[in-house]
Amino acid sequence: MSRDFECFEPGPELRTQVFRLWERVFTSWSGETKKIIADRLEAGFRAGTVRTPAVRLRKTGQLIAALRLEAWRFAAEVPGEAETGVHVGEVAVLPEFQGQGAGTLLMDYAVRLLKETEPRPDFAFLGGYTGFYGRFGFRSEDSPSRLEIPLAPERGGVRRFPVTDRLPQADPGLFRPFRPETDGESVMKLQTPAPGERIIDADMLKREFIFRRSCDELACFVTPAQGAPRGFVFLCGNSIYNSGFADEKVRDLLLSEALRRIAATGAAAAVISANTAPCEAYCRARQLPFRRIFPVGGLCSAMRLDLRK
């Protein structure tokens, strides 16, 4: 059956069809999720950081499978240097064509595109089923990638103190929403990503939805009455998506406020997905419970494909 399929890269005129295909496959997407992904795709297309390889039927041209490739920059082992990583996302095959080889054909094509790209990215990464993606060279990551802080810990089945009881209540005047136009340069200087963590740069600030939409809900800053921010925390749901601090005092103020805001949503835990070293130090200083989350092999683990070989 796979000989009836062919791979290609849809032009601008077919991007709506690609999105409709994803809607049919990912039926759990909410209206808000669809809007966020559509905005992110459009920004990525304009910036030239997103590609959507696809599969169609040779005879009719019907689109039957597609995925998203999005380029990001990551901190390298050498301070000040960066690596290019490509996220492989939204891998989807229409239900009526699943199990016929279209998904395998699509992934083979996507990996070949990445290896032929100049300059070649350093690696590709995704979260998915190890049994399927392993055949294309993806391997599970062994290093910790996140911290999880239970907001209402239990011991022996008994709920203990809420984490917020151990957090100081800061002056609300210290926090203000993120302003992309004026705060971008300060954010880039404050970040201290560890090797393998995403680097915020000017292009990212322009294209990434989390910094462009509803920023008063997603981000908070500690700042003097006038002047540039001295620290930042980007929030997305129950996740601290990124952060940066001028010193420990600013770190403590920001993380306390961030955890309070997450707890106010009713979330059972907060997840810290970037810049974890200073956040772990903060938890230890405050005697807050936390655990490291390892993306080990399993049902849906973090996987990486080295493209430099």
Q: Identify the bridge partners of residue 68 per DSSP, sorted by sequence position.
A: 89
pLDDT tens-place string over residues 2-13 = 679 999 999 989
Instruction: Report how far residue 135's alpha carbon sits from residue 111's, in angstroms, rounded to the nearest whole number.
Output: 11
Instruction: Report how far residue 239's alpha carbon sits from residue 2's, in angstroms, rounded to the nearest whole number.
Output: 41
Q: So what's the pLDDT on residue 298?
A: 44
Co-location of 56 and 161 in the same domain: no
pLDDT tens-place string over residues 123-157 = 999 887 767 898 999 988 766 578 899 887 665 55
250 in Cβ contact with 263 (< 8 Å): no
102 in Cβ contact with 55 (< 8 Å): yes
Counting the structural domains of the chain, the total is: 2
pLDDT tens-place string over residues 165-224 = 888 888 888 888 887 778 888 888 888 888 888 888 777 776 665 555 555 555 677 887
Strand, helix or coil for residue 300: coil
The residue with greater pLDDT, 264 or 144, is: 264
Domain hosting residue 164, numbered range: 146-293
Supply the pTM of this predicted model: 0.79
Q: What percentage of the chain reaches a pLDDT higher than 90?
A: 38
Strand, helix or coil for residue 157: coil
Co-location of 187 and 106 in the same domain: no
State the Rg of the chain over Cα. 21
Co-location of 105 and 156 in the same domain: no
Co-location of 85 and 190 in the same domain: no
- The encoded tokens of residue 259 equal 């955890």
For 231-266, the DSSP string reads EEEEEETTEEEEEEESSHHHHHHHHHHHHHHHHHTT
Instruction: Give 187's contacts (C-beta < 8 A, 6+ positions apart).
Output: 178, 200, 205, 229, 232, 244
Instruction: Report how far residue 88's alpha carbon sits from residue 230's, in angstroms, rounded to the nearest whole number.
Output: 34
Overall average pLDDT of the 76-95 stretch: 90
Q: So what's the pLDDT on residue 21?
A: 97
Highest averaged pLDDT of the listed ranges 20-24, 189-193, 206-210, 276-280: 20-24
83 in Cβ contact with 76 (< 8 Å): yes
Q: So what's the pLDDT on residue 297?
A: 44
240 in Cβ contact with 270 (< 8 Å): yes
Read off the CATH number of the domain in which 274 is found. Answer: 3.40.630
Read off the CATH number of the domain in which 138 is found. Answer: 3.40.630.30
Q: What's the gap between Cα 301 and its chain centre?
A: 14
Instruction: Report how far residue 278's alpha carbon sits from residue 275's, in angstroms, rounded to the nearest whole number.
Output: 7
Co-location of 288 and 208 in the same domain: yes
300 in Cβ contact with 128 (< 8 Å): yes
Whole-number mean pLDDT of the chain?
84
